[in-house]
Each structure stands twice: as C-alpha cells, then as structure tokens.
Amino acid sequence: MGWGARERGVSASVGESVPGDLGTPTFHALFRDYFGQMTRLAHLLGADDAENVAQEAFVKLHQRWDTLTDHTRVAGYLRATVVNMSRSRTRHLRVVRRTPQERPPDELSAEVTAVANWEHQRIRAVLGKLSRRQREVLVLRYWLDLSTAGIAETLGISPGTVKATTHHAMENLRKHLGDDLGGER
C-alpha cells in the first residue's frame, strides 16, 4: 500500500516544523497526508461518524504538538487515537441501538450494494460480527498493512496477542464464510 514510505516522508517534514505554530505547512501537510487515511480507518472500525473521529484525533494531536518529542511517531499516535475513539463511538452505538428507539443497523447503500460483489458483502457482514479486537487487528493488518509490532503498538497489546488474535479472527472468518469462500488455506 505504500504507507510506510509516505510515513517516513511526513515524519521528516514534521521534524523540521515549528512546534505550536498553528497552520504551519508541516501540520497542514500532515493533515493532508493522513486525514483521509484516518477517516477511512475509523470507518472500517465501525464508527458511524468517521470524519468527526478523524477531526478530533487531529485536534488532540494539535493540542499535544508542543509536547511531542518524537515527531517520527506522529502517525502511530494518530492511529492509536483513532482506534480508541472508534472504540468509544462503537461502544456508544451499541448502547444506543439497544434502546427502543434504536435505528436500523447500517446497511450498504444501493450504490455500494450494486458495485460490491457477493463475496465482499459476505466478508463485510462477517467482519461486523467479529469481536472488536479481532476486527481492529484485521483492519490494521490487511488494510493498513502494519507489521505485528506496529499493530501491537497501536492497540497497546503484545505482539503475541496480535498473532493469536489474528489467527482466531481468520479462523472465525473461515468458519462463517464456509468452504466456498475461505475454506482453503
């Protein structure tokens, strides 16, 4: 996906920045490079207001901008913030949807449904049934292409837990999708 190269380039630019200077090109460049990615990450993790989550993650980053000592880790900080905020959001959504006024579960739009093929729809349906951590691990691994260490750092868990969770998540996918989709290894 090429995000590693992009992160390195952004980190160098952030390291040359003037901390705390609102709207400096470096923070702006960071925003331009990462806002879309963070919004999509929140969307994949189930947040219904992905853009708001990404915005707040950048606000938090801006508030801590002066205290950041290692600007090469800004991307990791953003990812961890988005993951945590998405958790809070999905947790809130679960509570809200238990109430009598619950809204119908998110469904794919007609356009998306038309475009997505049957396999993808089934995978997305199964992804929505996985546990929060399994879903996070799969998104970080297969969409952001993060290493085991990167996933562990983002989620605040050990690399061993990452591997085990990934394994169980893939097993669940295979089990729910059946032989026609994920049976083969």
Partner 1 sequence: MTDLERKLAETLREQAGEVTPNLDAAWAEQQRRQRRPRMARRRLTLVVAPLAAVLVVLTSVLLVSRMNIAPAPTQPADGIEVLNLASFAPQPFDSLRVVDVVELADFAGQTDTWSAFAFAAVKAGTGDQMLCVAAVPAGQRLEAGAPQYSGSPRCKSLPVTSPRPLSAGYVGEVGGPLPPGKAVFFVDPAVQSLQLFDNNGDLTQARVLGERLMENAVFLADMPPDTKLVRFRAKYGPFSSTPKPPASR
- What distances in angstroms separate CA 49 from CA 53, 153, 160, one per listed residue? 6, 24, 32
The DSSP code for 16 is: T
Question: Which of 101, 180 has the CB closer to partner 1?
Answer: 180
Among 3, 24, 68, 143, binds partner 1 (CB under 8 A): 143
Question: Which of 74, 138 has the CB closer to partner 1?
Answer: 138
Residue 137: closest CA among 146, 129, 126, 128: 146
**Residue 100 CB, nearest distance to partner 1 (Å)?**
30
Helix (H, G, I), strand (E, B) or coil at 180: helix
Question: Which of 41, 152 has the CB closer to partner 1?
Answer: 41
Q: Are 6 and 33 a contacting pair, CB within 8 Å?
A: yes
Among 3, 6, 13, 35, binds partner 1 (CB under 8 A): 35
Q: What are residue 80's phi and psi, to 5 degrees?
A: -60, -40
Restricting to residues 65-94, which ones interact with partner 1 according to CB under 8 A?
A: none
Burial of 54-91, coded b for 16+ CB within 10 Å and e otherwise, reads bbbbbebbeeebeeeeebeebbebbbbbbbbbbbebbe
**Residue 18 CB, nearest distance to partner 1 (Å)?**
15
**Residue 56 CB, nearest distance to partner 1 (Å)?**
8
Q: Are 135 and 45 a contacting pair, CB within 8 Å?
A: yes
Restricting to residues 113-142, which ones interact with partner 1 according to CB under 8 A?
A: 115-116, 119-120, 123-124, 127, 138-139, 142
82's enclosing H/E stretch is helix 74-98
Q: Does residue 56 belong to the site contacting partner 1 (CB under 8 A)?
A: yes
- Per CB under 8 A, residues contacting partner 1 are 22-23, 28, 31-32, 35-36, 39-41, 43-44, 50-51, 54-56, 58-59, 62-63, 112, 115-116, 119-120, 123-124, 127, 138-139, 142-143, 170, 173-174, 177, 181-182, 184-185
